Structure 1
Amino acid sequence: MTQLKNYQKQFFNFYMEYKYLLDLCKKKNIEFYYFEKVNSTMDVSKKLFFENKSTLLICSAQQTSGRGRLGNKWISNKGNIFFSLRFVPKVDLKKFYQIGILSCISIKKTLKKFGISNVSIKWPNDIIVENMKIGGVLTETFFKNNYNYCTVGIGINFINSPTIKKYSTTYIKKYNSSINFEIFLTFLIKMIINSYNKWNDSKYNNLIDEYKKSLIFFGKEVIINNNNNLIKGILIDVTKDGYLVLNSNNKKRIIQSGFIEFKL
């Protein structure tokens, strides 16, 4: 009986803490799973319910093996935001990368909605506030049971930020101490879902233009690290495929992969 009461209390506390998010998931037909600790929400999203094409949301209070692009470790301190959304898009597989772009834009808009200004995106997927990294986006695609899946992983520093030697970091509470975690998280997920639905219906026609306007260092000289090959040039454009266009030694150069190498 005591165990039952404890379980009921835990369930009630969870429901009250995530009431708005649970209501959103019910309204949007999203399967929602919450964990206190996982290796990675991206890994969990690959193991659950492949026979179901519904959008899947995995949230965790902590990750022990969170990861970013190119195999980089994502330090996942408790109290920050870690979640993955798994979609089964109906658009061409070649466009799945745009889910990462619309997620970056959604994060930027959400931060601005909650009073955090000077937000930009560092190509391809880092969220920057006042020249410091506050979050990042990772997208992965895979094929299973005759369906193409795309999972987007989101990590945002909410109550603290790790110390990184290569660049400066920051966190949400530094700019607005009154922000409620669950309200912010729910608003962000709603923003991503709405943007995704618009994109999946081929109605997000200005996505790349929004992305270009959000990029830090647009029109400025950057150094791209592409598998330890450093490429210097002026960032002048973004292609419809999300690739960077550099003016390098007075020649246009298309950069398909890598990251901008600079100290924040």
Structure 2
Amino acid sequence: MHFYGLFGEHLSHSLSPLLHRSIYQKTGLQASYKTFAFPPAELSEAVASIRTLTISGVNVTIPYKETVLPFLDELDPLARQLQAVNTIKNQAGHLIGYNTDYAGFGLIFERRKWSPAGKTAVVLGTGGAAKMVIAYLLHQGIQHITIVSRSPERFESTDKTTYTNYTSASTLQGDFLINTTPVGMYPDTADTPVSEGMIQHFGILIDLVYNPSITTFLSLGRKHAKETANGLDMLIGQAVRAVEIWENLEIDSSVIEELIQEFGEKR
């Protein structure tokens, strides 16, 4: 039996253990999964414990997707490009970092037949998840992305990306408005990263938060007849891809649809 887990700081409401158990059951894998919550000061020891306890692999969530990088032995090409890791594989004591959030985020677009090509987007946040979202949109041919940060002066704009602050962002408009921050996540469910007025300027809203399933951000979008998607597809897509990497197998897309149906009903 292989032993897997989730690294993060606050994990009491994570769906990952239930999700992974369901994946193992549907695919006939003999594996177990548990959460490992710890403060930032213990990250180095936590990564070392993967080798010590012969844990076969872990997922990584907020706030360690970027800070974990120096403690790994190798990064796969996508993780190296994004400089963000959400999956670690223990290959005989050699720790390899991957980013499966990219595949999970893509699932949101694929299942709805949304295309970023030639469109414009505003991305809220600049963390590891934001890096992944920006890379995906650029790879898919987005025309331009505006990234909203509390400290935009720390970043350099390009011909495809512009950084701005939340005050200046209030007048922006575009095709996609994507929240990559934890604002609105349980238990602070009344919070929204931007105002209702700003939300009205976009056609499609995506929130990477999945708990609650309808955040205040998405609820305001629905109020104004916007298309919306939460982070459940991404959660399931990245988890399935992580299992494929850990177990060296390919999981049928029908399993993904079953999981989305199953966990969508649980929300």
Report the TM range for the smaller structure's normalisation. Answer: 0.3 to 0.5
Bigger CA radius of gyration: 1
TM-score, normalised on structure 1?
Answer: 0.36
Structure with higher helix content: 2
TM-score, normalised on structure 2?
Answer: 0.35
Structure with higher strand content: 1
